[in-house]
Amino acid sequence: MRIFRGPPAEDRQETCNKFAMIDPSPTDILVVCCAALAHLYYRYKSRASLSYPPGPKPLPIIGNTLDIPTFKGFEVFAEWSKTYNSDILYLGALGKHIVVLNSLEAANELCGERSATYSSRPHLTMLCDLMNATRFMAVIPYGDAWKARRKKFQHHFPPNDPSHIATSRSEEFVRKYLLPNILENPRDFHKHIRSTIGGIILSLAYGLRIRRFDDPWINLAELTLQTTTEAAVVGRYLVDIIPALKYVPEWMPGAGFRKTGKEGRKIVDDFIDRLYDAAVEEIAEGVAQPSFVSLALDENDETSIHNLKEVIRETAGVFFAGGSDTTVAAVNNFVLLMTLYPDIQAKAREEVDTIVGHDRLPSYSDKPSMPYLTAVLKEVLRWRPVVPAGMPHCTTADDVYRGYFIPKGTIIINNAWAILHDEQHFPKPDHFDPERFLTTSGQLRKNVLDPEVTATFGFGRRTCPGSQIAQATLFVVAASFLSSFSILKPLNEKGEEVDPLVHYSGKTMVDHPTPFACRFVPRSKGARALIQAEVLNLDEKL
């Protein structure tokens, strides 16, 4: 290794002599000091003269603390854009800065083109300090730790390239778990969807054998997800606005959040540590399926494994945290929309029948031949974004955008709801219309914003790394449902079809429809036989 030792000793002495000969006069010193002061003055004066983006008028001391919506904020922010005639909004609350981006242009320019400044995560006290959720890659601030985990994930599951292991695992779970469970007990389809998708994700991450019913690993993962997604909503907990409250004793009135944080920390640690340890044990026993953990462990020797142990452990955790809940929400939205729009369901089913026939179940490889179903799924993601307010970003330096000042540490909310309901891009945005993505000849349009690559899965360097897994799973589930079942409206007491009752709470980061009723009816004896054939050789666990 070459070591730079500087110039020879005689050259260094000559340089020192030259500096020693410099004898600055008081005038020289004054000029330099005045120049430095002028630079600092104009630099900070220019920043001070800039205003924040428009937004609600703040109150003295507390600012916009009372204006921050605690549920369905994405809809409130979209309305504010009309009120203030701006696609970029600002709220200030007790020293916290929040900027909401309600347009694709603003989100792309800041979180995309200026991603070096806009790629970190806000430090939410409840989520990060009290629950220790920074062990999840999605929550880690931008830096070396995040880069190491993202690199490890993408090495085994490259973006925009669904791997064979991901698609085959999705098909396996759908055929052996989801379809048979719905055939046997269609009323509990919500439970079956959640359990199956959870099984797919945990299997891909850890290779664990998953029970067909009531799997304890899925139960732990679901509890972890519910706990952390509630804490990830900006403004949900006052301690996120006033971090010093984390030091309040648990016994004090109003300090119930401390207990919530303590319980959340145990849940997060149990999830990350226990699943990884179980995966290592099953790998050693030779009973685990190929997974991220097994692939990551196989490619390293013992020395590097010791150094990368936490990277592998915590990267595995992001599979479920980042992919399960969002995919469940998308599938539930698909089922709801097929129930509400039977004509669209019939057209999509006709395409599936044409390509697949009646002697087999669909596979992911059929997707290129199904433009109409692909358009339906794009519209599902657009009509009801699964993470409507996006995962918040955070700035790592001061910035100026369109003449507005955005301070370092500002929480950036990319409002996917507003972007995907922008009337300039999507006329009649509240109307569910897959045809908006199709040409008159029935092929996919290329001149329309694509929800699968725009807004749905984030922006810039923090785009969801597992989006290809989610999209593959969504397609396999949707095509399999259409091939096997008719999804019908529920019946009232008189035996008449009625629209299902459903609403969206908007209280968590991932926005689910409330459980709704519908009927899954096998399309034919042949469809029933295909499903039952998949169960004949099914073990208790996959």
Q: Which residues are annotated as a binding site?
A: 464
**In a 3-state reduction of DSSP, which class is residue 444?**
strand
Query: Contact 394/122 with Cβ under 8 angstroms?
Result: yes
Separation between Cα atoms, residue 208 and residue 268, nearest integer Å? 19
**Helix axes 302-340 and 216-231, enclosed angle (nearest 10):** 80
Whole-number Cα distances in Å, 542 to 176, 193, 208, 282, 286:
9, 16, 8, 13, 14
Give the Cα separation of 505 and 355 in Å (integer). Answer: 38
Q: By C-alpha distance, which of 309, 219, 233, 230 is closest to 271? A: 219
User: How many angstroms separate the Cα of 324 from the Cα of each of 107, 152, 195, 296?
Assistant: 25, 19, 10, 21
**No. of H helices and E strands in the chain?**
18, 8
CB atoms within 10 A of CB 464: 19
Question: From the CB of residue 407, how many other CB atoms can be counted at a distance below 10 Å?
Answer: 14
Residue 329 sits at the vertex; the CA angle it makes with 170 and 261, to the nearest 5 degrees, is: 105
Question: Residues 416, 456: contact at Cβ < 8 Å?
Answer: yes
3-state class percentages of the chain: helix first, strand second, coil last, to nearest 5: 55, 10, 35
Spatial CB neighbours of 220, under 8 Å, sequence gap ≥ 6:
267, 270, 271, 274, 275
Question: For residue 4, how far is the Cα from the chain centroid?
Answer: 46
- Binding positions for heme: 464
Identify the helix (H) or strand (E) that includes residue 69.
none
Contact of 502 with 360, CB cutoff 8 Å: no
Written as six digits, the tokens of 303 are: 């020395």
Which whole-number Å values give the CA distances from 20 to 17, 26, 464, in the listed order?
A: 5, 17, 58
Report how far residue 321's alpha carbon sits from residue 325's, in angstroms, rounded to the nearest whole number. 7
Residue 393 pairs in a beta bridge with 412
Taking a C-beta distance cutoff of 8 angstroms, is the pair 456, 309 a contact?
A: no
Q: Are 210 and 181 in contact (CB under 8 A)?
A: no
